[in-house]
Amino acid sequence: MLFIRRNSPIKAIVFSSISRRLSSEARSAAKEQQEIEEKKVKQQKYQELEKLQFRPLYLDAQATTPMDPRVLDQMLPYMTHLYGNPHSRTHAFGWESEKAIETAREKVAKLINADPKEIVFTSGATESNNIAVKGVARFYKDKKKHVITTQTEHKCVLDSMRVLESEGFKVTYLPVKKNGLIDLKELESILTPDTSLCSVMMVNNEIGVRQPIKEIGKLCRSKKVFFHTDAAQSVGKIPINVNEMNVDLLSISGHKIYGPKGIGALYIRRRPRVRLDPIQTGGGQERNIRSGTVPTPLVVGLGAACEIAQQELTNDATRVTQLSKRLIDGITKRCTNVILNGDPESRYSGCVNLSFAYVEGESLLMALKDIALSSGSACTSASLEPSYVLRAIGADEDLAHSSIRFGIGRFTTEAEIDYTIEKTAEHVKRLREMSPLWEMFQEGVDLKSIKWSQH
Question: CB under 8 A: which stretch of 16-24, 51-59, 114-122, 164-172 binds other proteins?
Answer: 51-59
CB of 367 to other proteins, least distance (A): 10
Q: Judged by CB, which is closer to other proteins: 71, or 338? A: 71
How open is the CA angle 325-331-336, to the nearest 5 degrees? 130
Please tell me the count of residues contacting other proteins according to CB under 8 A: 22
Residues 6+ apart with CB under 8 A from 42: none
CB of 427 to other proteins, least distance (A): 11
Per CB under 8 A, does 412 bind other proteins? yes
CB of 38 to other proteins, least distance (A): 27
Rounded Cα distance between 372 and 3, Å, is: 70
Q: Which of residues 75-94 bind other proteins (CB under 8 A)?
A: 76
Per CB under 8 A, does 424 bind other proteins? no
Residues 6+ apart with CB under 8 A from 430: 367
Quote the distance between the C-alpha of residue 369 and its chain's center: 22
Active site residue 351: no
Annotated catalytic residue, options 220, 335, 351, 379: 379
Per CB under 8 A, does 44 bind other proteins? no
Q: Judged by CB, which is closer to other proteins: 57, or 437? A: 57
Question: CB under 8 A: which stretch of 70-78, 90-98, 127-135, 209-217 binds other proteins?
Answer: 70-78
Residues β-bridged to residue 403 = 355
CB of 57 to other proteins, least distance (A): 6
Check: CB of residue 377 under 8 Å from CB of residue 156: no
CB of 124 to other proteins, least distance (A): 23
Per CB under 8 A, does 57 bind other proteins? yes
Question: Given candidates 4, 9, 53, 453, which one binds other proteins under the rule CB under 8 A?
Answer: 53
Check: CB of residue 228 under 8 Å from CB of residue 132: yes
Rounded Cα distance between 293 and 355, Å, is: 45
Question: Given candidates 110, 285, 416, 440, which one binds other proteins under the rule CB under 8 A?
Answer: 416
Per CB under 8 A, does 315 bind other proteins? yes
Q: Judged by CB, which is closer to other proteins: 57, or 317? A: 57
Per CB under 8 A, does 66 bind other proteins? yes
Q: Judged by CB, which is closer to other proteins: 35, or 73? A: 73
Rounded Cα distance between 340 and 351, Å, is: 11
Per CB under 8 A, does 410 bind other proteins? yes
Whether residue 272 has a cis bond before it, omega within 30° of 0: yes
Q: How far is CA 359 from each of CA 171, 420, 441, rounded to the nearest angstrom?
A: 37, 17, 12
Buried b (16+ CB within 10 A) or exposed e, 259-289: bbbebbbbbbbeeeebebebbbeeeebbeeb
Q: Judged by CB, which is closer to other proteins: 154, or 410? A: 410
Q: How far is CA 383 from each of CA 369, 398, 401, rounded to the nearest angstrom?
A: 18, 16, 12
- Give me the residues that bind other proteins (CB under 8 A), please: 52-58, 66, 69-70, 72-73, 76, 315, 370, 410-413, 415-416, 419
Active-site positions? 379
